[in-house]
Amino acid sequence: MRRNKPINVFFVLIVSWLLIGEGFGQSPKISSQPRHINRINVNAAILLPPNISYNPAVNTYIPNTPITTLTPANTGGPVPPNIYGQVTTFAGNAVRGSVDGTGNTAGFAFPNYLVRNASGLIYVTDGNKLIRQITPGGTVTTLAGSTLGFADGQGSIALFNAPAGMAIAADGNIYVVDSNNKCIRIVTPGGAVSTLPGVIFKQPNGILIDAAGNLFISDYADNTIKKVSTTGVVSIVAGASGTAGWVDGPGATALFNGPNYMIMDAAGNIYIADYNNNLIRMITPSGMVSTFTGNGQKGYANGIGAAASFNGPEGLAIGTDGSLYVSDSGNNIIRKISPAGIVTTLAGNGVAGLQDGFDLGTSFNTPHGLTIDGDGNMLCADVANSVIRKIITTGYTIDKKLPPGLTFDARTGKISGTPTTVWPTTIYTITGINAAGSSSAMVTITVKINQAANVPPAISYNTPNIYNINQSITPLVPVNTGSAVPAREFGQTLTLTGSGGNGNNNGDALTSSFSQPSAVAVDAAGNVYVADFNNNLIRKVSPTGLSVTFAGSGSPGFSDGAGAGAEFNGPGGIVIDAAGNLYVADSKNNRIRKITPGGLVTTVAGKFVGSADGNGTSASFNNPTGITIDGGGNLYVADTFNNLIRKINPAGDVITLAGNGSTGSINSNTGTSASFNAPQNLTVDAAGNVYVTDSGNNLIRKIAPAGAVSTYAGTGSAGGTNGALLSASFNKPWGIVADDIGDLFISDFGGNQMRMIDPYGNVITLAGSGSPGALNNTGNVASFFGPKGLALDAARKLYVADSKNNVIRTVYTTGYRIDKPLPSGLVFDDATGVISGTPNVLSPLTTYTVTAYNIYGSSVTTVDIKVTDSQTITFPPIPDKTVCDVDFDPGATSSSAITYTSSNIAVATIVAGKVHITGAGTTTITAADGTSTYPQPLTVITGDTPSVTISPATFDECSGIAVTYTATPINGGTTPHYQWKVNGQNSGPDNSQFISSNLNNNDKITCVLTSSITCASSPTAVSNQAVFTLDPPVSEAVTITSSVTDPVCAGTEIKFTATPAGPGANITYQWLVNGNAAGTNSPLFSSASLANGDMVTCVVNSSGKCLTNPSVTSNAIMVSLNPFSQCVIVIPNTFTPNNDGINDLWNISALQGYPYCTITVFSRYGSLIYKSTGYAKAWDGTYNNSALPVGTYYYIIDLKDGKKPLAGAVTIIR
């Protein structure tokens, strides 16, 4: 037992450390309970959890009225102003590597597990076979490991093979699962690596430590959870060694399939990411294994328990609010499981990528390890992106969507805005989260049209109204003394979700797809449930249009079960009860199914094809298509192929309510004596009447509570006629729904329209043109294609299963409606009931019926409108015309018909109501409308006069330069011709431009235009005359002179002056010595370093008009120097070697005559710093290529002429 002693010491250390650090595995043991002391930052004051509340907690608002901002009161610890769910990249640059650095300068290669220690350091098992360390500030270093292998040792000497899960001991040592080496390694904070002796696994993965110091390891390949006690004994806590499966139960009776990450809560429950089962499992302290959430199907669905699905769950972490977070690696998303067990998506859009941001605007690529940092936020190892992401899990959250117009500020928890529509009473849970814990408060919000009196509108107009034609009217606004009418266009049709393609894609409104959706139901929160007929699915659509699969595998069949574990076969109808349960008419299975809010599917009634009444599955149906429910919980079923209407009470008893089973349209006081023809759907009103879309008969039937069946609406012939109940016609009516104020809404499947029957017995078209289409618009401008099931929400918004378009549509049923078109030019606003515009036709006094709708009812009123003629003739002046103009309308207007006369038929006559020109001259055209006249004079001229102008009028240029003249015609017609002339002689092409480089001085240029118009006073026109001036050529010259004429000694400064002669401008100078550039751009040049025989010249460049030689070279001057023996050697006593081009060298020109001389320079301390034999290259003030400091230096120059050397001092100045 000697080998166990080190293990015992190790576990004693763990027990003591559990009070101060994060000892519960690759993610911390986090709980909202008070024992959650491992969230305390040892470097800061103790932080308390928040304690939030709202006052008032219950709030009722009015649409389109700003609310008083709801601000949370917090008597606990502060909530950081974060946006919950915001994702950023914390460390890594997405380039695979092992570079250490800070933030995005560091590199990882498939980082896997994460763990945080008590001081806030994050440790990462990197796919590089490394253990990495990240400070809270994001600085990444490598703690241990290098290449693949197995070796203990310090830092890079140690070797790992697929390091995975980690846990941290009280002494700061990190316990690492070395997965492919099948052992547990110990890494000290200083990077020394050793191996825990005596423990071998098949393929260990996750690791954690409980409060007693026991190790728990998930053995992935063995499908077991193993325990290493404080005495070193290894045992199996749960799972059967080597057996994969999904079985809940105690200990070894349970089965796992690839258990992966683990985490423990404050109560000692262990949560396991059961990877291949796509489940989150839980083991209680007593060893009982259960399925915490998930249905075992690979997928992506949010919900409660078995309604949720995962795809390869990996990392786990418990937030300070008690929520369990899961990295759903195959779906590339981060999931959240609330303390209530509700699974939602925290971050990620499901598409592999690397996008920071918020919520569904973010993307991951195979996320794995999770941990909570010292601020209460979450870090994630984004494996395939090779980065570490940070996800904000502190701040404020709200559990559901607020009413439209209201906003929730995630940084402050405030609710503000202006609600834009009615909203049912909804309880919202708002949670404030900080690093110490969380606090939740509930706020109730209701949006009502009128708080004081929930009544229908009561509208009226000022009437009658007489308007003048072509005069803008003052808008006619309805007066409403009842509840407000929502500002929505009555009959406005929009697409809620669906791309229109045939498919079963989940996603947002633009990417989701359906296949012949047949029915819809809507819950209190605004979620829409869809019976997706051909996909054999029940889909759920959020108020924003995001669709997910709620129940069904997608394959046709029959199976009860949870979520995707259930099967349907052609679900045709769907309805929701007050408790949120869905009931589905599973048509091809001939059953009625029930789905709980958690997604559990059971069978209520039906089993085989038939028409038998009875309880539950003893009853039978034949293609039940429609279903509805009354206030007492009774279900009504349209049993289509049986031509029956069935009723199911809450106890599951099925009876036949109406129909004799034969095809027909017989009405009867006894329900079972009546007949139907393929009834498709039905609804129940507040009085208990059942309305049926008798599709094969093109009728709407009514079943009274006592059972009498009658025809409520329709003639029986297919059509789309509106009007009174029994005068209207329908075309295969399908969906039907009743509101609580007496309206019926019908989807006319064959007519591609939404119809409405109001409480007064009038049938109208709510929306749809009658032609198949998918156009979103208002009223009969919108279009549908095979609309089926309908549903209404609390705001009277109608939801439509637009089956052949494969989309879900909405239609607004509140607003205003007018019964007939207004006179042309007047506009009726369906949202406000306002009549406005400018009438442009006469109209007799007409009565218009306007109906206003809100959620409490409707109001009908009339308004009388007449458009009269109070306008005289309007006749604007007639422009001058030519004898060639065609017949024209003179332009007079009146409210009555206009006739014209001409006073001079030699100038113009009237033909077919238009003026016909007969000749030049003047006449009077008189307009008459039967009651008044209006004269206007008309002048007719012989024709248009062409003209042409050429430009420029003057031009001066040098010889050989091309010049361009342009002709601009007036009345030249569409194809004018041009004849250019030079000094009266034809020249140039037939073109509006004339270009020439051969003009002479004082040439005269003109152009003759020949017009192509048919009505010209003259066919040709001569232009103005342009004169060309030829400028003479000019030349440039330059002469240079020297400041000396006789020979001089070397080193003597010689000055040269350049004198240009010519008209050139912008002159530049380039001095040359022996052909090499010298001097500056100046007319002066001087030098003291010229040699005997040097040739000095100057090149002058200039510009100027007609300049023949813009570049010219001067005369040459040869430099003549005296023999060196006749010259005194001039030695400069200073020079300035600062690289400015002036006096940078110690020039002693006379030394050129002494090629064997020696020059030595010493520092003030006698150190030799320069020596040269000959002086071909002047000294630049450096020593060993480094600039010498400013100061005085001492030289000796030996001319080697037998005389005493020259000596002195030279000073370097900079």
- Rounded CA-CA distance 782/800 in Å is 13
What is the predicted pLDDT for the residue at 45? 54
Strand partners, 801: 808
Phi, psi of 306 (to 5 degrees): -70, -10
What is the predicted pLDDT for the residue at 955? 84
Q: Identify whether the C-beta of residue 1072 lies closer than 8 Å to the C-beta of residue 1080.
A: no
614-615 and 653-658 beta bridge pairing: antiparallel
More confident residue, 1110 or 329: 329
b/e code 14-47 from CB counts within 10 Å (16+ = b): bbebbeebbbbbbbbbbbbeeebebbbbeeeeeb
238-256: pLDDT as tens digits = 999 999 999 999 999 999 9
Q: Are the folds of 881-941 and 1034-1119 the same?
A: yes
- Rounded CA-CA distance 937/923 in Å is 6
Average of per-residue pLDDT values in the chain: 90
Domain boundaries, the chain: 52-82+400-447, 86-393, 459-486+823-868, 492-813, 881-941, 947-1030, 1034-1119, 1128-1212
Res. 24: pLDDT tops 70: no
Q: Identify whether the C-beta of residue 756 lies closer than 8 Å to the C-beta of residue 743.
A: yes
DSSP string, 519-584: EEEE-TTS-EEEEETTTTEEEEE-TTS-EEEEE--SSBS-B-EEGGG-BBSSEEEEEE-TTS-EEE
538 — pLDDT class (breaks 50, 70, 90)? very high
Question: Which CATH fold topology does 492-813 show?
Answer: Neuraminidase (2.120.10)
What is the predicted pLDDT for the residue at 1130? 83
**CA–CA distances in Å: residue 300 to residues 20, 330, 563, 852:** 38, 9, 11, 44
What is the predicted pLDDT for the residue at 285? 94
What is the average pLDDT across 567-585?
Answer: 96
Q: Identify whether the C-beta of residue 1163 lies closer than 8 Å to the C-beta of residue 1193.
A: yes
Question: Which CATH fold topology does 86-393 show?
Answer: Neuraminidase (2.120.10)
What is the predicted pLDDT for the residue at 1150? 79
Q: Identify whether the C-beta of residue 671 lies closer than 8 Å to the C-beta of residue 690.
A: no
- Rounded CA-CA distance 40/718 in Å is 75
- Rounded CA-CA distance 1038/126 in Å is 79
DSSP string, 48-81: PPP-EE-SSSEEEE-TTSPPPPB--EE-SSPPP-
Q: Identify whether the C-beta of residue 311 lies closer than 8 Å to the C-beta of residue 328.
A: yes
276 — pLDDT class (breaks 50, 70, 90)? very high
What is the predicted pLDDT for the residue at 29? 31
Residue with tokens 């005559």: 1153
779 — pLDDT class (breaks 50, 70, 90)? very high
Taking every pair of C-alpha atoms in the chain, what is the biggest distance, in angstroms?
153
Least confident window among 33-47, 708-722, 838-852: 33-47
CATH, domain range 1128-1212? 2.60.40
**CA–CA distances in Å: residue 1089 to residues 300, 1049, 1159:** 88, 10, 18
Torsion of CA 903, 905, 906, 907, to 10 degrees: 70
Give the dihedral sign, CA 600/604/610/615.
Answer: positive
DSSP string, 997-1025: S---TTEEEEEEEE---SSBS-SEEE---
**Number of helical H runs and strand E runs in the chain:** 1, 102
Res. 35: pLDDT tops 70: no
Q: Identify whether the C-beta of residue 640 lies closer than 8 Å to the C-beta of residue 681.
A: no
- Rounded CA-CA distance 512/532 in Å is 12
Cβ within 8 Å of residue 1185, ≥6 positions away: none
1114-1154: pLDDT as tens digits = 999 999 888 877 777 889 999 999 988 888 999 887 787 78
Please give the CATH superfamily to which domain 52-82+400-447 belongs. Immunoglobulins (2.60.40.10)
What is the average pLDDT across 839-857?
Answer: 92
862 SS3 class: strand
In the chain, what percentage of residues exceed pLDDT 70? 95
Report whether CATH 2.60.40.10 matches the domain 459-486+823-868.
Answer: yes
Please state the separation of Cα 1109 from the chain's center in Å: 66
805 — pLDDT class (breaks 50, 70, 90)? very high
372-397: pLDDT as tens digits = 998 999 999 999 999 999 999 999 99
Give the dihedral sign, CA 803/804/807/808.
Answer: negative
- Rounded CA-CA distance 335/537 in Å is 23
What is the predicted pLDDT for the residue at 4? 31
Res. 360: pLDDT tops 80: no
892 SS3 class: coil
What is the predicted pLDDT for the residue at 42? 33
Res. 186: pLDDT tops 90: yes
Cβ within 8 Å of residue 980, ≥6 positions away: 965, 986, 987, 988, 989, 994, 1005, 1006, 1007
Q: Which two tokens stand for residue 566?
A: 């259930």
Res. 988: pLDDT tops 90: no
Q: Identify whether the C-beta of residue 963 lies closer than 8 Å to the C-beta of residue 1028.
A: yes
Res. 572: pLDDT tops 90: yes
Q: Identify whether the C-beta of residue 163 lies closer than 8 Å to the C-beta of residue 146.
A: no
450 — pLDDT class (breaks 50, 70, 90)? low
Report whether CATH 1.20.59.20 matches the domain 947-1030.
Answer: no
Closest by CA to 712, choosing from 753, 755, 673, is 755
Residue with tokens 């390949």: 221
What is the predicted pLDDT for the residue at 870? 63
Question: Which CATH fold topology does 881-941 show?
Answer: Immunoglobulin-like (2.60.40)
Closest by CA to 14, choosing from 2, 22, 4, is 22
Res. 991: pLDDT tops 50: yes
1014-1069: pLDDT as tens digits = 777 788 999 999 999 888 888 889 999 999 988 888 778 899 999 998 787 889 99
What is the average pLDDT across 46-62?
Answer: 92
Least confident window among 424-428, 900-904, 947-951, 1076-1080: 424-428
Phi, psi of 697 (to 5 degrees): -95, -5
Closest by CA to 334, choosing from 319, 356, 349, is 349
Phi, psi of 1106 (to 5 degrees): 60, 25
- Model's pTM, two decimal places? 0.44
Res. 265: pLDDT tops 90: yes
Report whether CATH 2.60.40.10 matches the domain 1034-1119.
Answer: yes
- Rounded CA-CA distance 327/379 in Å is 11
Q: 234: buried, middle or exposed (CB in 10 Å: 19+, 13-18, 0-12)? A: middle
What is the predicted pLDDT for the residue at 230? 84
What is the average pLDDT across 875-891?
Answer: 90
105-156: pLDDT as tens digits = 999 999 999 999 989 999 999 999 999 999 999 999 999 999 999 999 999 9
815-818 and 517-522 beta bridge pairing: unpaired
What is the average pLDDT across 298-327?
Answer: 92
592-611: pLDDT as tens digits = 999 999 899 999 999 999 99
699-703 and 744-748 beta bridge pairing: unpaired
Least confident window among 252-261, 359-368, 528-537, 691-700: 359-368
Res. 21: pLDDT tops 50: no
What is the predicted pLDDT for the residue at 85? 92
- Rounded CA-CA distance 959/830 in Å is 78
